[in-house]
Structure 1
């Protein structure tokens, strides 16, 4: 047996214990939990075949009582000692997409982000649409293009119609962007016709991940009227490989900002589900933004309540993301369209400048949150590199 040493100040201590799907060399993928700089093989340590699978879905579907029990068992095992054959260095394994994604919904829950885009796109009108403070605005994404951190992103092609051009043309996106977000994963499903009230959030949602919802702003601008995002969003959405369980976020729970007007009754709850999470965005290794999730207007509990209020069924593996996280300050903006104010204010990256992403650029988004007794816990990072457009569509 081996007792795992957890470095002082580790973001992956016993108060975190995030789950992921890892693959040792010459072996099959299976479920593990991260402890410090190690991954513990749960199938080997707990003797349950639910962890010998290549996704977390079967475990997540077992429900909150089971999640709590496994968390207790893992904590005790790590403290008592784990078989050496069940422990792997985190930098010696391959991480996979942790969940078989069922549905994917992306929201637009930051008032700062929505206001900035309103000012950019509709300078002569009110920045927020009339419905924005009455419901969490969202769109239904494409689950098949959700990918794990480390997967390269190919520059998408589509129709573009720049200002002053009378007809659209076709080609690679010239305004490729990121969106720094948090995502939440459903574990316990519902039946068609059922709803999930805000205070039932923790009974259904397993945990959270960091999200980069890539956006082709020029393709999006031409296509989104009247039905909303399509090709400009559906080519890739990246998530971090570690799913932080909700139980690890107790110390991060806070009130949302004041919601005025008061939401309709189905969006109200007694429990606090604002979250004090700090994100960091790096562009080619340089920090360019620190978006604060604590300023998000709509909580994830309200997002899920709105998603299901019409009776739409929730499925194990559903992913719903917050939308771009932006703070009040310029260096807290979570999308480059905001950070560069539509491309008019380039950002300095080392000895270069950028407005939107160029081929070869690498983006990393990481996140941390308060833990108990003044500690912090980590979500890891979601990192990707931009590859040139394929299919002979390069310009």
Structure 2
């Protein structure tokens, strides 16, 4: 009789079932309107689907080059030049990835060595810290300013050390919906100037910036761009999150290291979708119109919430709206954020995500996050239910 196999030592011992999976399952169980899911419930442009079919019929069904289909990398280079004034070589400085999450993991694995420190600004997207840990690095958590979620540059400066290898920034910011200003980027540039610290800039919501603001991409700031991996997402921009196609723009030396990892953890990305996206990008109007498209949904949702006891936090970008729950006239307002969200799903029929899920220490500040990337009818139904509060 063979001995039982020992349980493997976990590479991520602190990772369990995420709150996102928990809330989605609970929403399904109770028939709740799921505003916890961070993706649309509406379809993409049919012309984009047609372009995929045409690419398949044209024979684009085998492996593309490891860095990505040349046509799509060229389209990205043209876009970076037109929008941000960054001239980049599509052959040596642009890589197509299996979504932005894979892009961030690959960037971390490419440059972070055991013992290196990586600064993350909390609250943050839940993949950042596990990515750092998989690379053997140490996550150094620096909180954004509670309430406003603005970067605290004094605390960032204090976190920099000789062991700092990289810093991860995210604007427009998930989960708070705040947007970094030009002054913020210039401050970051000044802070990093005397260091050799690298930058991973998560810009997947780049086209969701409202009220006339301009997205301050790292690409606009030469002293930042020369040390940065700039991550973007076709899925977020074109309402096709399930396609899992993203891109990384980085200087040639960084791209070379990135591709060493990329070729072994993914190698390449779905061919017909790459060709379809390259064709579709010939018309810039879809992403030019995106700020107005999502601002209208944001305004619809905020106007509906204005009649409740939720306190609206600023919503400058992304498709997320954060609210303070401390003024709700229900006994459940005293529950921890995570318990409140479960109560809201079961009893009111609307799912949200607690902001504490985006902090390593579960910091509870009485704030939850809704996603308004939904059909207007979905938002109205959710607002009708939330009006009971």
Q: TM-score, normalised to structure 2's length?
A: 0.25
Q: TM-score, normalised to structure 1's length?
A: 0.25
Q: Which has the higher contact order (CA 8 A, sep 6+)?
A: 2
Higher helix fraction: Structure 1 or Structure 2?
A: 2
